[in-house]
Chains A and B, each alone.
Chain A
Amino acid sequence: MAVILDPAPALQAASLRERLAVRVKRLLTLPALLVIGIFGILPLLIIVVYSFLTAAPYGGVTLPFSTDAYVSFLFQQDIFDGTLTFVPDYLLIFLRSFIYAVATTFICLLLGFPTAYFMATRPPSQRSLWVLLITIPFWSNLLVRTIAIMLIIRDQGLLNGLLIKLGLLHRPIVMLYTDFAVVLGLLYSFLPFMVLPLFSSLEKLDFRLVEAGYDLYATRWQVLRRIVIPLAKPGIVAGSLLVFIPALGAYVTPLILGGGIHMMIGDLIAQQFGSSRDWPLGAAQALILMAGVIVALFFYVRNTAGKVQHG
């Protein structure tokens, strides 16, 4: 009697195994999802709820629900007759933070691009050494490094001392507690976050395309503008995001180097949860910042992605 083998069960077993494998792989993401859920999404929801509550006298929140926090972001309510007057103080701090962050991102790009290009054109054996050197600042604490900058640029600091000793200056230039100090601090903190994505993008660049550019009568500047920069765009986008977003919310740097005069959003929000004891306002400001970042990102990414495709 001939034995007829039915292939169906075997096939079923195979597809079952495949589906199981997919399911196991999905399980691998579970720890990360849990961490993000518990420590990311949940606090965010709490913040949303807090922003619609009323401030308790000694910190914390209490009922009833209200939108006062959002109103007081732009307006001040008169204690006696309840009329609202427009007060742009918070808005100005937001605007300043935005300008600081944009300036930091732009200068990081200007400084980081040549550095990353230099690294990417080294022989492969030397590149990991350069990456290591770029990460050296991460080996010590940001606070320590920021205070070190303070020691360098203060009136009696290293830089002024040196310039006076050399006879180039008679009295120190005031650098600490200025816009310059804050942007310098931000620049120093976030430059590696620009260099590393730029490097990884430039490292993948096929330098034969650069040769092809030269061959087709492009000068060095034209090769950079028409070939290298468009092809490094993913790195430019990633680096800019990695610098802009944390720079916008920076807390330690403006606090120490801005001396509380040149306040940024991070300090403002911290203040609401600290000395001002107005948690709903702090929560509202944090959410407004987040909404602003999301909108800005949306336009930035849509814009640059379009340029990559059509450039």
Chain B
Amino acid sequence: MLEIGNVEKVFGQGTGAFRALTEISLEIRTNEFFTLLGPSGCGKTTLLRMIAGFEHPTSGMIKLDGEDIAAKPPFQRPVNTVFQNYALFPHMSVAGNIAFGLEMLGRPKGEVAATVGDMLRLVRMEELKDRKTSQISGGQQQRVALARALAPRPKVLLLDEPLSALDLKLRKEMQIELKRLQHETGITFVFVTHDQEEALTMSDRIAVMSAGHILQVGTPRQIYDHPANRFVANFIGDTNFLEGRIVSRGAGGARVELASKAMIEASLPDGATTADAVTLVVRPEHAWLVPGAGQGVLDGVIDNVVYLGTDTHVHLNVDGGAAFIVRRQNRRDSVEELAPGMRASLVIPDGLAQILRD
């Protein structure tokens, strides 16, 4: 288990000091696929580099299986990294790259050769083992970088946006590949990305970060369905926000009055706001539209209908100003009954809207 307790990181000193991480505490379980998700500059890469040992925390502790490793140099940690640009050694062959870590650990020649063979098989690169790293494609370099980092059997594998340089199709393949490798090796993966879709598809748990803070930690489902605050809701997936006023509170939920005077039953997470004026968040696929006015919680005029193949997105201008997007999955026999300029009613079933904390 990887424990990070109250870690802070300040770069520079005095007036030029920059606080990159504030009060970071996390517990990453053994053999977990854990993702640090956030926009660029949120501190996720700094946190990763700290686990690797390239940066040292200004304060706080990093414990791996009970041992504090915060002060150790990178070459004394059983942690390996897959770098964003792969950082393969250009003067070595594919096999030479994979063998490097094992050679540095002083493993006997026979064992190195056997492990390199296993790794080449694991990432399906046996035929290219004697190639130079400049003579293989981006996706293949990615596999070599993975094999190189996995070969010494680290306790934790760190991945710094490893898929960002690949095109979409290859990225999808590698996502599945990564899950397979994690499953087969039983190693803890800590994955850094700014791509929320990637985070949702691959992770066991996600930590959403912003401006040096961790905003929420949870399974992809928890984070998507129950975002802790406005930033998380906005960053993960498409989201609609509605303003409302709490009329009455119940266990885990509240009755909220919308601008149209319509009432809606919304979920209210523990410890959430005590104020009465609140923001509701509704996912686009959790609502639908009915032609004509007065049949749902809100009325509006359809602004645009966007066909996206599997889905259709309908943009609604709610009376009173706000925009609202509804997503509907297309079926073979779907008939488009909505068109721009039509009046429509927005239906939100009870319990699918959530009250935000801020």
Mark A residues whose CB is within 8 Å of B.
Answer: 206, 208-209, 211-219, 222, 226-227, 230-231, 308, 311
Contact = CB atoms under 8 A, between A and B. Distances in A.
Contacts of A212: 81, 83, 87-89
B87 A211 contact: yes
A218 B87 contact: no
B148 interface: yes
17 contacts: A209-B90, A211-B83, A211-B87, A212-B83, A212-B87, A212-B88, A214-B54, A215-B52, A215-B74, A215-B75, A216-B75, A216-B80, A216-B149, A216-B152, A218-B104, A227-B89, A308-B91
A216 B90 contact: no
B89 A215 contact: no
Q: Which 7 A-B pairs have the closest CB atoms?
A: A216-B101, A217-B104, A212-B87, A214-B74, A208-B87, A218-B104, A230-B91
For the residues of A in contact with B, the DSSP-based class is helix
Nearest to A226: B100
A51 B73 CA distance: 64
B259 interface: no
B85 interface: yes
Contacts of B74: 211, 214-215
B105 interface: yes
Given A227-B89, A231-B90, A231-B91, A214 B80 contact: no
Interface string B98-110: 0011001100000
A217 B75 contact: yes
Contacts of B92: 311
A212 B53 CA distance: 11
Interface string B62-78: 00000000000111100
Contacts of A217: 75-76, 101, 104-105, 152
A208 B83 contact: yes
A167 B92 CA distance: 55
Contacts, number: 60
B80 A215 contact: yes
A211 to B, nearest CB: 6
Contacts of A231: 90-91
A175 B104 CA distance: 45
Contacts of B101: 216-217
Contact of B81 (A215, A230, A308): A215
B334 to A, nearest CB: 50
Interface in B113-154: 148-149, 152
Nearest to A307: B91
A211 B85 CA distance: 12
A222 B83 CA distance: 20
Nearest to A209: B87
A308 to B, nearest CB: 7
Contacts of B52: 215
B88 to A, nearest CB: 8
A231 B152 CA distance: 24
Given A209-B89, A212-B83, 11 more contacts: A208-B83, A208-B85, A208-B87, A209-B87, A211-B74, A215-B80, A217-B76, A218-B100, A219-B75, A230-B91, A231-B90
A212 B100 CA distance: 10
B99 to A, nearest CB: 10
Contacts of B149: 215-216
A227 B88 CA distance: 11
Contacts of B88: 212
Contacts of B76: 217
A214 B177 CA distance: 26
B194 to A, nearest CB: 19
Among B52, B88, B104, chain A packs the most CB atoms within 10 A around the CB of: B104
* Residue of A209, A216, A217, A227 most packed against chain B (CB within 10 A): A216
B112 to A, nearest CB: 13
Contacts of A227: 89
Contacts of B100: 213, 216, 218, 226
Nearest to A216: B101
Nearest to B85: A208
Contacts of B90: 209, 231
Contacts of A218: 75, 100, 104
A212 B159 CA distance: 12
Contact of A216 (B54, B85, B91, B148): B148
B282 to A, nearest CB: 43
Contacts of A211: 54, 74, 83, 87
A216 B104 contact: yes
B308 to A, nearest CB: 38
A220 B85 CA distance: 22
A301 B288 CA distance: 74
A270 to B, nearest CB: 43
A222 B104 contact: yes
Nearest to A212: B87
A215 B101 CA distance: 8
B123 to A, nearest CB: 16
A4 B74 CA distance: 72
A219 B89 CA distance: 16
Contacts of B81: 212, 215
B170 to A, nearest CB: 22
A214 B73 contact: yes
Contacts of A213: 89, 100
A239 to B, nearest CB: 18
Nearest to A218: B104
B75 A206 contact: no
A213 B81 CA distance: 10
Contacts of A209: 87, 89-90
